[in-house]
Copies of this chain bind each other. A is one copy, B any other.
Amino acid sequence: MLKLGIPKGSLENATIELFKKSGWKISVSSRSYFPMVDDEEIRCTLARAQEMSRFVEMGRLDAGLTGKDWVLENGSDIVVVQDLVYSKTSASPARWVLVVTEDSPIRRLEDLKGKKIFTELVNFTRKYFAKRKINVDVEFSWGATEGKVIEGLADAIVEVTETGSTLRANGLRIVEELMQTNTQLIANHEAYRDPWKKEKIEQISLLLQGALRAEGMVGLKMNVPANDLKSVMEILPSITAPTIANLFQSDWFSVETIISEKIVRELIPQLLKRGAVGIIEYPLNKVI
């Protein structure tokens, strides 16, 4: 049986949703610490993203999903099986940034010499400054980190943000980006040497990727007269070859392809111009 760690808290719902699209139903009960999963070969455990890599490293879990940031913070010696770019809300990557108040005299990293920095990411931050030979005082912050620099209790903070708009709205300024992070599927070294566990982890990895890719892809289907087929095919992206079939007793073709959802809004006006009609777009669960 594979002991798999599911991140608790802010990533929890997004992760469970992703597994659902991938083919596993995980259900979390408020009364149990072990989420149920409809696969007898997997045993799920909820753990905080901050702690996941430690549990995987020490072998209490065979594999788990967590953030690259916390893998680095913990300095865990584990296998990174797959980067999985998804997050709770936006499409922007999460970034750890060094932040001060708008009116702070601190403009560059060097200005922090001798100053007090609060962050949840203490080890990473210390290493970051040590490498640059800047002597700073990094203190661990128990959440609500932003407040500390606003109140003047800290000179700077290192905090995670996606777009930075909340920081700006609170009158804060980003001095430097320290790291971009994303979710990772990680595994314990020993577990990953076990052939059965490795295959199971890779099955999960394959289907999670298939579901993630489907999030950005759609199916597009249209009818095209024979004369316009070439012109239409020219602008259809060719990730995989489109499926083409004759319409019953006519010289029209049915054309069907899988494309990135992002370009649909640009593509459709052009397809219309080139003679395609009856264009429909349909959703996908997985693209492998």
Contacts and interface: CB of A to CB of B under 8 A. Distances in A.
Given A23-B262, A223-B241, A278-B258, A91 B285 contact: no
Given A210-B268, A245-B245, A247-B243, A51 B282 contact: no
B265 A207 contact: yes
A8, A240, A287: residue with the most chain B Cβ atoms closer than 10 Å? A240
B142 A278 contact: no
Interface stretch (A127-135, A165-173, A177-185, A186-194): A165-173
Contacts of A143: 48
A38 interface: yes
Interface stretch (A77-85, A104-112, A148-156): A148-156
A244 to B, nearest CB: 3
B36 A153 contact: no
A115 interface: no
A265 B166 contact: no
A32 B165 contact: yes
A170 B277 CA distance: 49
A13 interface: no
A286 interface: yes
A153 B45 contact: yes
Instruction: Count identical subunits in the complex.
Output: 6
A250 B262 CA distance: 29
Given A29-B166, A153-B55, A223 B240 contact: yes
Interface in A184-230: 203, 206-207, 210, 214, 217-219, 223
A209 to B, nearest CB: 11
Given A8-B144, A91-B38, A142-B48, A280 B272 contact: no
Interface string A273-288: 0000111111111111
A244 B283 CA distance: 21
Contact of A245 (B141, B243, B262): B243
Contact of A254 (B217, B243, B264): B243
10 contacts: A32-B169, A33-B147, A60-B153, A203-B266, A210-B281, A242-B247, A243-B247, A243-B254, A268-B288, A283-B283
